[in-house]
Amino acid sequence: MKRERWAAIQEGEFAYHLAKDETRVLEINLPYWRSLIAQLPEEVRFETSTRVLDLGCGGCGILLGLGRGELVGVDPLMNRYLEKFPFLAERKDIRWIEGAAEEVTFDEPFDVVFAINSFDHVYDPRLVVGTVRDFLKPGGHCVMTMNCHNTRPFRAYYAALYRFIDHHHPHQFTPRDVERLFDGFTLIEQREIDELWFPHAERYARDVLRRPLVDRRKWLRAAANPLKWPMGLCKVLLNMPRHSTRPGQRSIFSNYLLVFRK
C-alpha cells in the first residue's frame, strides 16, 4: 500500500474519534482495559520496572488501565489525540510519541508490546512484526487484539474490496494469518474476547459515539452498497458461526486476543 493512501486512511480514523464525546471516553474505556489486562496469561506481568510499549495507542488506549511500569504510547496521530482528549496529558507517567510503528526507534527494549486493534491499520504489517521483534527483550510478550475473519473467503473478499466496504482497515487477517506473520515467536494464547467488550458496547455507542448500538442508518448504508449484499447472503449460505454475544447475528469476524512470547 502506498504511504499516501495510508495517510488518507489515518485522516478517516481521526474523523471517527473527532466525533466522540471526550468527557465520557475514559469513564467507559477504563473498565474494559482493566478487564482485558486481568485476562492476560499469568506470565505477562506488570511491575514498577516493567517497560511497556503500546503501538497504535489511539486516544484512549490500554496504557491508561495500567498503574505502574515505564509506559510509552506511540501513534501517528498522537499530537491530535492529545488535543482532543485532555486526560491523556494528565498521565505524567506515560510518555506519548507521535510516529508510525514502522519508523519509531528506542534505545532500550521492552518487556511488553501492545498492539490493540491497531495491527490492521499499519501500512506494512511485516515490517511492524520486525519492529516488535527488535523492540522486545528475549522472553518478552507481544499482546494483540484485532478483529479477525472466521473464514478465508471473507478475508480475501475484504482484502480485495476494503476501500468500498471497510476503508479504515487496509489489511485483513484470520488468526492463522497473524500466527504465520509472527514466525519465530511462541503463541501462548489465542481466543475470542467479544464478551469482554459487549457489556460496555451499548453505553459506549450512546454516550461516546452519541448513536444507538443498533443503528438503522448503518443498516441503510449497507443496504445501499451492492458490494455488501454478498456478505448478508453468504452468512446464511456458508453457515457462518453464530455470534457469541449477539443473538440472531452470524459472525464474519470476531475480536481475538493473541499473545506471543519472543
Domain boundaries, the chain: 3-200+253-261
pLDDT value, residue 247: 47
CA 98 vs CA 1, 36, 58, 75: distances in Å:
21, 25, 10, 5
Query: Angle at the Cα of 17 (from 15 to 21), degrees rounded to 5?
Result: 125
Q: What is the pLDDT of residue 241?
A: 54
Q: Are 228 and 151 in contact (CB under 8 A)?
A: no
The residue type of 84 is K
User: Which pLDDT value is given to residue 150?
Assistant: 83
Residue 129, class by beta-carbon neighbours within 10 Å (0-12 exposed, 13-18 middle, 19+ buried)? Answer: buried
Q: What is the pTM of this model?
A: 0.89
What is the predicted pLDDT for the residue at 37?
A: 97
Supply 43's cell numbers. Answer: 506470565
CATH of domain 3-200+253-261: 3.40.50.150
Asked whether the beta carbons of 160 and 111 are under 8 A apart, the reply is: no
What confidence score (pLDDT) does residue 248 get? 47
CA 181-182-187 angle, 5° bins: 130
**Is residue 65 within 8 Å of residue 200, measured between CB atoms?**
no
Burial class (CB in 10 A: 0-12, 13-18, 19+), 3: exposed
Q: Which of 144, 143, 140, 98 is nearest to 119 (CA)?
A: 144
Q: Percent helix, strand and coil across the chain, each rounded to 5?
A: 45, 20, 35
Tens digit of pLDDT at every position of the chain (262 positions): 777 788 888 888 888 888 899 889 999 999 999 999 999 999 999 999 999 999 999 999 999 999 899 999 999 999 999 999 999 999 999 999 999 999 999 999 999 999 999 999 998 999 999 999 999 999 999 999 999 998 888 888 888 888 888 888 889 999 999 999 999 999 999 999 988 998 998 899 899 988 887 767 776 777 677 877 677 666 555 555 555 545 445 577 889 999 999 9
Q: What are phi and psi of 12, to 5 degrees?
A: -65, -35
| Residues with Cβ within 8 Å of residue 74, at least 6 apart in sequence | 53, 54, 55, 56, 57, 97, 98, 99, 101, 104
Contact 80, 18 (CB under 8 A): no
